[in-house]
Every structure is written in structure tokens, then in C-alpha cells.
């Protein structure tokens, strides 16, 4: 109870990019009524103010800029997002986005992410980046690209909850490179995600595979229907709008009591 202060969380170390959002911190700090947290990676302070089942989060940046969000902590479902071809325009085969100028966010992505956010999903990016193993870029290059992505998305009020990447080459037989489910499983542990209620969204068969192996529902972003995926949409926005309609439909289908015990 009361005020406590933490300079960093041990769990930060598990996240390849040391990028953790406000909502991730909730699982670590749930017991307190109020917490101030410094994220050393980005020099932000997070102020978490705990209500019944809601947490008001105020993120203050060094120069006094403030962002606030309120989160329902009973929801821990996630949308696992592939990066290239879902969030940003994919480069030709064997080309890797190694600098911000090559990172072009696709139309409708900001709107899609804010819908998913509003619906209460954690947003977890899961991306294969073997350009690192191949020497086309360094981890620092990737961090720079992702910092640019965070900055761009933040302009629309969007915060990703975590980013996981696999830097390995296929032949390294790691457990993280999709279609292996390693990154999803690590995220579900780190962020306390209910995999069965979550979605994996990607533009490749390996995304669908990884999502299935982790036990999530799967969404393929493609022009043609993917028989292996639970759902296929032509864009992330179409998927987000679909989910939004589903939620609206569910909330409108409250049992009709008019039929009960009528004389």
C-alpha cells in the first residue's frame, strides 16, 4: 500500500528491447495503490494510480509532456503482431529494414492499433529479424528503427506493450524464430497473457504456425484466404474492425428477459 519507488524491474532483462509499457508494469505492481516507475531505457517516469479494477497511468517524459490512459486490469488478452507486412511495408525478399527511413508504416495501422487497444488487448510485437545474424544490421540499428516506430505510433496515442525479436538465422535452430512459438510463450509468461483468448496476426504461414503452436487464434493478412488460419483479412485494420463489430454484437446480445414468466 501507499507509495513505493522502483528504479527498474528485473523482468526488463527478459525483453530484448528493454521496452515495456505501462500496462506491462501493472502485473508487477498490482499490489500497490500508487507507484512511480522509471524506465531506464527511454527515460520516462510512469505514475500508476490504482483504483478498483482500473489503473490510471500517467506517463511523464523528461520535458514535462504527459500522457494518460486508464486500463482495465482484468483483461490480459493480447494481439501478437508480426512486423514486416503487417505494421510496415515489407521490403523485397532478402532486404532488411535497417534504418528508420526504410520503415514505412502501412495505411490504417494506427487506426487498427488504437481499436485493438481500446478493446483491451495488449499489443505485443513478435518479429523475426535474421538480418542481424546475416550482418545486414546490428541490434542497435534495430533498436533505432523501433524507437522511430514507437515515436510515430505515439503521435496517434498508441503504445506497444512489448517487442520481441529473434536475431537468429534459420540454421541456428533457436526456439524463438517463427514458426517456433518461443517469443509468444516468453511474452505470455512475462506479461501474463491468456494465450487461448489471444490472436496472432501475420502475413506469412510461419506466423500462423507459431500462433497455432502457442495456442492462440490466428489471423493471416493476405489477399487470398488461408485455410490454416482461423481468419484471413486483407489488412490489420480490417481485422480490428471485425473484432470491434464482434464485441459490439456480443454486448448487444444481452439475454432478453421479456420472454420470462409472462402471464
Q: Which is nearer to Mg ion, 190 or 207 (CB)?
A: 207
Q: What's the full length of the chain, in residues? A: 263
> In this structure, what DSSP letter does residue 175 have?
S
Beta-ladder partners of 164:
126
Q: Among 39, 82, 190, 226, indicate the residue that binds Mg ion (CB under 5 A).
A: 82
Residue of 125, 134, 127, 126 whose CA lies nearest to 94 = 134
Q: What is the nearest approach in angstroms of Mg ion to the Cβ of residue 83?
A: 6
Q: Which is nearer to Mg ion, 21 or 129 (CB)?
A: 129
Q: Is 258 labeled as catalytic in the residue annotation? A: no
203 interface partner picked from Zn ion, Mg ion, none, CB below 5 to 8 A per type:
Mg ion
Under a CB-based contact definition with an 8 Å cutoff, are residues 109 and 237 in contact? Answer: yes
Q: b/e per residue, 79-93, with b = 16+ CB within 10 A? A: bbbbbbbbbbebbee
C-alpha 233/C-alpha 88 separation (Å) is 16
| Site stretch for Zn ion (CB under 5 A), options 41-49, 146-154, 164-172, 250-258 | 164-172
73 interacts with, out of Mg ion, Zn ion, none, CB within 5 to 8 A per kind:
none
Other Cβ atoms less than 10 A from the Cβ of 170: the count is 10
Per rule CB under 5 A, is residue 205 in the interface with Mg ion?
no
Among 168, 198, 202, 204, binds Zn ion (CB under 5 A): 168
Q: Please tell me which residue in 39, 77, 84, 226 is annotated as part of the active site.
A: 84
Q: Does 226 bind Mg ion (CB under 5 A)?
A: no
Whole-number minimum distance, CB 137 to Zn ion, in Å? 15
84 included as an active-site residue: yes
From 82, 203, 209, 226, the catalytic residue = 82
- Cβ neighbours for 256, distance < 8 A, ≥ 6 positions apart: none
- Count Cβ neighbours within 10 Å for each residue of 39-68 and write b for 16 or more, e otherwise: beeeebebbbebeeeebebbbeeeeeeeee
CB of 202 to Mg ion, least distance (A): 5
Q: Residue 35, SS3? A: strand
Q: Is 55 in the site for Zn ion (CB under 5 A)?
A: no
Residue 209 C-beta: closest distance to Zn ion, Å? 15
Written as nine digits, the cell of 151 is: 515515436
**Contact stretch for Zn ion (CB under 5 A) within 62-70, 161-169, 231-239, 240-248:** 161-169
Task: Output the smallest distance, CB 85 to Mg ion, in A.
Answer: 4
Residues that bind Mg ion (CB under 5 A): 82, 84-85, 203-204
Catalytic residue ranges = 82, 84
Residues that bind Zn ion (CB under 5 A): 166, 168, 174, 176-177
Amino acid at each position: 500500500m501507499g507509495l513505493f519507488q522502483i528504479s527498474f524491474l528485473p523482468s526488463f532483462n527478459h525483453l530484448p528491447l528493454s521496452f515495456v509499457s505501462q500496462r506491462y508494469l501493472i502485473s508487477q505492481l498490482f499490489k500497490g495503490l500508487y507507484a512511480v516507475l522509471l524506465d531506464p531505457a527511454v527515460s520516462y517516469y510512469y505514475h500508476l494510480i490504482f483504483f478498483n479494477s482500473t489503473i490510471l497511468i500517467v506517463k511523464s517524459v523528461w520535458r514535462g509532456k504527459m500522457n494518460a490512459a486508464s486500463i482495465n486490469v482484468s483483461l490480459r488478452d493480447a494481439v501478437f503482431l508480426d512486423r514486416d507486412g503487417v505494421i510496415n511495408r515489407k521490403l523485397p525478399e532478402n532486404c532488411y529494414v535497417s534504418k528508420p527511413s526504410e520503415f514505412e508504416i502501412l495505411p490504417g495501422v494506427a487506426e487498427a492499433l488504437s481499436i485493438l487497444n481500446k478493446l483491451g488487448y495488449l499489443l505485443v510485437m513478435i518479429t523475426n529479424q535474421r538480418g542481424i545474424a546475416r550482418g545486414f544490421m546490428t541490434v542497435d540499428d534495430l533498436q533505432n528503427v523501433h524507437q522511430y516506430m514507437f515515436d510515430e505510433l505515439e503521435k496517434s496515442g498508441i503504445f506497444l506493450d512489448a517487442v520481441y525479436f529473434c536475431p537468429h538465422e534459420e540454421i541456428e535452430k533457436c526456439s524463438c524464430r517463427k514458426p517456433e512459438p518461443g517469443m509468444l510463450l516468453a511474452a505470455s509468461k512475462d506479461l501474463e497473457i491468456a494465450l487461448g483468448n489471444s490472436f496472432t496476426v501475420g502475413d506469412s504461414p510461419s506466423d500462423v504456425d507459431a500462433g497455432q503452436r502457442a495456442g492462440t487464434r490466428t489471423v493471416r493478412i493476405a489477399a487470398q484466404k488461408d485455410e490454416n488460419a482461423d481468419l484471413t483479412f486483407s489488412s490489420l485494420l480490417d481485422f480490428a474492425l471485425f473484432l470491434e463489430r464482434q464485441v459490439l454484437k456480443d454486448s448487444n446480445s444481452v439475454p432478453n428477459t421479456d420472454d420470462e414468466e409472462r402471464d
